[in-house]
Structure 1
């Protein structure tokens, strides 16, 4: 091993005892049960529902409480206690109002602190004391450790422990301690969080989800198609930018653009007011428009049209300069008969309705007006100079990837492009052929290059980010074509269909999933593919567990826009040392309902896979890292012996 590296390491472990102690510690950790992984997907800006699922650990918090207190407290007390762990500040306020005198409140505080300490002790049973200490509220570490490690065997210190609790309460610190213990419990029940794509679009608060993830103790993200659209906009793609503004207008979420990220939409509004009027196809979809005036709705409708037309124009030069994208049939503005208001697609002519072609030059339909060009340039400037957006996009890049191999499973938001026979689809990019894992790797390479070079706005990398949003062989889209134009302007719904990659049908077959796992270097006997992206229509009997348990789809409709078709409000997945459980969630009403009624949004838990033998840290990605660390430390130990031996020989 490199001598300079070992010399540097020797500064940290400057005695033999330190090296030996660390090796013993790491070897011991390898034999602990693996931590609980929590998988969520397709959050789509639904911050409140996501917060609740995160706080209750998809039911893990309630499970721990039941296991510990099932026969010791009533059902209502159990629900109250669980709610206290989820929302400590709000529940404490309600409880303070419930008690008529200070004595009753103090007695309740003492009971709750004791209960919280027992819960922390139980929830931390698979962790080292060092890891637990890091999770405790900093200002109470000493006090909590004293209470955690007390023993009931000897009465000598009973008064000592009782006095600690009394002093906490009398000094007005009970609320702070209970709140800290509640958040520690939330942290302990989930060791690591996986977000399998689509944080952005449709819902109203993706920025708050991002802030939560930034502060979360351990997380990774597999980019979804909507996330990549935002990354693309920040990386300099004007067509990605047009798409995110169009989607925000469609779902009445322009406040995310303007108020949250500080992007000035006045130039777009001025353009829209000049060229567009009311149009039923472009009115916002969101329920929140009932709180808006007709003038506000009309403004959104006009901006929606203005940015949609800019988007359609910006797509065309990319399609023309990248023939291997195979998207020439999407040059739809060139197929329009502007005199007859008709379009011919695949040999069939359709009447157009609700058109908004005031800025289109029929002879050069891809040509932006000077005003449109100025608007998109200014919008891009605002996007790339938004401090908050920069923070969120940098985190998305740091923690994100197109796919992840983690603890033997393959996590991917969308699909692995395959043909009808289950073979990896091939795509030629710049005379180089890619398929399967190689194709996803080259997609990620271009995305990272585009992000690192935002000044290059018309290069291949930036075009490729847009392709990830809408291309036939994109692992994030996985359809023949995106029919946005048709849905706006053609009444015939046959033209609205988006034909999916065979993956979405063939993933029902175990042999296909095993083939994909093998392609990514995973054990097909033990591994699973975990997908988001396509809402599972449980209301129609669709099963999210497919291919004899090899495929698990966890997009069940966090987004309110999907819940009428899915029948539920999202799936989440838990994977602990005993195996995997899929959790289906009911619609989240409000935090207030949870606080007052003790209601949870958990529905059915289904066993996906049960471990024949309890998994340990040794069998995980973290275990691999620790084993490598142990190997390095053993090399350091040998190096120290060799150095000492050489030194003794020199003295002789």
Structure 2
């Protein structure tokens, strides 16, 4: 208990207050996944309450406001600073302006009251800016339509306009609506890679009013693993950053000096078509594209060498089929895979010693030592990775639902795959728990040498039985060098095929200590044309914040869970903040009810409610003493 009580009356008052909170409607949870560094799109999702705000506006003003006026109101709530400037600039007369303020402030107050009705007063207090807090509370807790209150309300608005603070007042209300529309944000994996500013997403979450949690993805593990001292994680991270023209994130945000790597890469490699960056950036010079190209090659070759060492060091990983450098022909133009010879296209194996193909050269060693020391010592990077570790996990159990990115590894019959790690056998929940322990232990005790923690963390990135990778193998080598579509295919774990079966979902829920009324909420990029809701509405897949890895025919989704049930939001493609503001674009193109109950869930039905009940029991016991 944080509060201190001086007498029994204070304790009784607190018990009454807590008991009342239990009867309030359950708060709305939003589930998103695969953000991949796209901070503007993430911000758009959060400003919109993951679609919840436009839904509330529609419910509240259906039949009162036209569709276009509802869109204008929603846009104002999402981006109040920009929309206010735009609206004010269009007014010709003061009377028009005053009338707009009267109508708009009244509508915003109604919305704020509507989204506040499921929150206790202390939560509303936290959501309101100190500026105008008492005034806003006065307006939302009173019926402004009552005859004796109308003049009072009009005088308040007149005073705001007269004192030239109506814009500030509107900003306070809009920001409060944004905060109160969502009670908790679940991020089901992959904050990092591809997009330019995962750091701004971390910063926004650090300043967030809402509760939130991470369920890590394998891309997140690359970054946490690099801070833990894994050179393999670091090389994959650098290679992907170069592939998506994102080395500036490392240099400008995290203070990683890439000079030694760039100089080495430009001296050893020339640009090749198979290493062209995946994105075209306005204003990018030929020199920058050449650096991205050559750095990819340098990182990839060092990666393949260190992978070979790790695979031989850890036979329990069973990854011998990922050894390629010792299967190159003497002229390095062919490679033998599963007994068949394949032509190498645009090879770059000049630093590979045929006699010792997995040996790191002295020049490579100098670069690796320089880089890994910088990664483990970067203050900003350590801060962000520890934030992810402290607020995240391999999976989460929340209000009877199981949340994770990727899969729970199984065979074709649905049996949990066993792995022997450090002399112990793990499967299902215990395997995920073990991986989480290793990752957090690696961050607590970073080391740049080859060690068990570093190897296991790298395995999480691309191992066949990694819950986060969820595929049979990562075919980086094949995709760079071999033009055979079948050889480049990565196959999902049988978990995804079985996730259509209710018996299997029940089995997974039971493994994690959850009952049949629960759901699996899975963050991952699905295959094309696969329904996101399966197994009698017990399995829901969300993805969707990045177009980096999916085609136009793959839908993006977010999931809302409120006091009435579950809503799956089909997200519109995101272009830019400017486009959203210009066209007043909402984030959703469709909504599907996954589950609905006419009887609202209350806070008393949630895990938060269970904590409150324990507090009430504790306080009641104090009264009995």
TM superposition score normalised by structure 1: 0.92
1:535·1:566 contact (CA, 8 Å) conserved in 2? no
Q: Distance in 1 between matches of 2:570 and 2:267?
A: 48
Structure 1 residues 515 and 50 mapped into 2: Cα distance closer, same or farther (>3 Å)?
A: same
Change (3 A) 1:53 1:154: closer
- Report if aligned partners of 2:527, 2:554 keep a CA contact under 8 Å in 1: no
Contact 2:245 2:292 (C-alpha < 8 Å) held by counterparts: yes
Among candidates 164, 172, 180, match of residue 180 of structure 1: 172
Counterpart of 1:83 (choices 57, 65, 75) is 75
Other structure's SS at 1:286 match: coil
Instruction: Using the TM superposition, give the Cα deviation of residue 574 of structure 1 relative to its aligned residue in structure 2, in angstroms.
Output: 0.5
1:528 aligns with 2:519: yes
Q: 2:18 aligns with which of 21, 26, 47?
A: 26
- Over residues 259-312 of structure 1, what are the superposed CA-to-partner deviations in whole Å (9 max), with x where a residue is unaligned? 222211111110011100111111101032x53222221121111111111111
> Aligned equivalents of 1:338 and 1:281: distance in 2?
22
Q: Does residue 579 in structure 1 map to residue 565 in structure 2? A: yes
Tell whether the 8 Å contact from 2:37 to 2:198 is kept in structure 1 after alignment.
yes
SS of the residue 1:292 aligns to: coil
Query: Which residue, 265, 281, 285 being the options, matches 2:274?
Result: 281
**8 Å CA contact 2:373, 2:448 repeated in 1:** no
The corresponding residue for 1:120 is 112
Q: Is the 1:10–1:636 Cα contact (8 Å) retained in structure 2?
A: no
What is the rounded CA distance, in whole Å, between the counterparts of 1:422 and 1:450 in structure 2?
Answer: 31
Distance 2:58 2:491 in 1: 46
| 1:506, distance to aligned residue in structure 2 (A) | 1.0
Checking the alignment, whether the CA contact within 8 Å between 2:417 and 2:465 is kept in structure 1 is yes
SS at 2:304 equivalent: helix
Deviations 1:27-46 (A, max 9, x none): 22112111111000111122
SS in 1 for 2:50: helix
**1:302 and 2:284 are equivalent in the alignment:** no
Partner of residue 101 from structure 1, selected from 83, 93, 98: 93
Q: 1:11 to 1:489 in 2, by over 3 A?
A: closer
Structural RMSD (CA):
1.8
Partner of 2:531: 543
Change (3 A) 1:153 1:36: closer
Q: Secondary structure at the match of 2:536?
A: helix
Partner residue of 1:623? 609
Q: Which residue of 2 aligns with 1:392?
A: 384
Q: Contact 1:527 / 1:550 at 8 angstroms: preserved in 2?
A: yes
For 1:563-574, what aligned pairs fall within 5 Å after superposition?
Answer: 563-564=550-551, 566-568=553-555, 570-574=556-560
SS in 2 for 1:138: coil
Number of the residue aligned with 1:644:
none
1:250 aligns with 2:237: no
Cα displacement (A) at 1:340: 5.1
Q: Partners in 1 of 2:402 and 2:146 — Cα distance?
A: 51
* Structure 1 position 456, deviation (Å): 5.5
Does residue 600 of structure 2 align to residue 614 of structure 1? yes
Q: Which runs of 5+ in 2 are unaligned?
A: none
Cα distance in 1 for residues equivalent to 2:98 and 2:449 = 63
Once the two structures are superposed, the pairs formed by residues 349-388 of structure 1 within 5 Å of their partners are 349-388=341-380
Q: How does 1:76-475 map to 2 (within 5 A)?
A: 76-152=68-144, 158-216=150-208, 217-288=210-281, 291-339=283-331, 341-455=333-447, 457-475=449-467
| Contact persistence 1:222–1:413 (CA under 8 A) | yes
> How far apart, CA to CA, are the structure 2 residues paired with 1:106 and 1:252?
49
Q: Which sits farther off after the overlay, 626-635 or 479-488?
A: 626-635
CA contact (8 A) 2:48 2:587 kept: no
Quickly say closer, same or farther: Cα 1:103–1:536, change in 2 above 3 A: farther
Structure 1: runs of 5 or more not aligned: 1-8, 642-652
CA contact (8 A) 2:400 2:519 kept: yes
Deviations, residues 498-550 of structure 1 (Å, cap 9, x unaligned) = 232211211111111110001111011x111111223342xxx3211111111
Tell me the CA shift for residue 335 of structure 1: 1.7
Q: Deviations over 1:64-91 (max 9, x none)?
A: 1122222222322211111000000000
Comparing 453-462 and 511-520, the one that deviates more: 453-462
SS at match of 2:561: strand
Q: State the alpha-carbon separation in 1 of the partners of residues 87 and 474 from structure 2.
A: 52
Deviations 1:464-490 (A, max 9, x none): 111110111110012221110111111
CA-to-aligned-CA distance 1:221-248 (integer Å, 9 cap, x gap): 1000101111101111111011011001
Q: 3-state DSSP class of the match of 2:265?
A: helix
Q: Please name the residue that 1:486 is paired with.
A: 478
Range 409-418 or range 497-506, more displaced: 497-506
Match of 2:579 in 1: 593
Structure 1 equivalent of residue 540 of structure 2 = 552
- Post-superposition Cα deviations, 1:184-242, rounded to whole Å, max 9, x if no partner, equal 10111111110010111112222222222222221111000101111101111111011
Partners in 1 of 2:332 and 2:582 — Cα distance?
Answer: 61
CA change 1:11–1:610 in 2 (3 A) is closer
TM superposition shift of 1:164: 2.5
User: Which sits farther off after the overlay, 348-357 or 590-599?
Assistant: 590-599
* TM-aligned CA deviation for residue 424 of structure 1: 0.8
CA contact (8 A) 1:536 1:544 kept: no
Range that drifts further, 599-608 or 160-169: 160-169
| Match in the other structure for 1:649 | none
- Secondary structure of the residue aligned to 2:49 is helix
Aligned length: 624
Which has the larger share of helix? 1
**Offset of 1:446 from its aligned partner?**
0.3
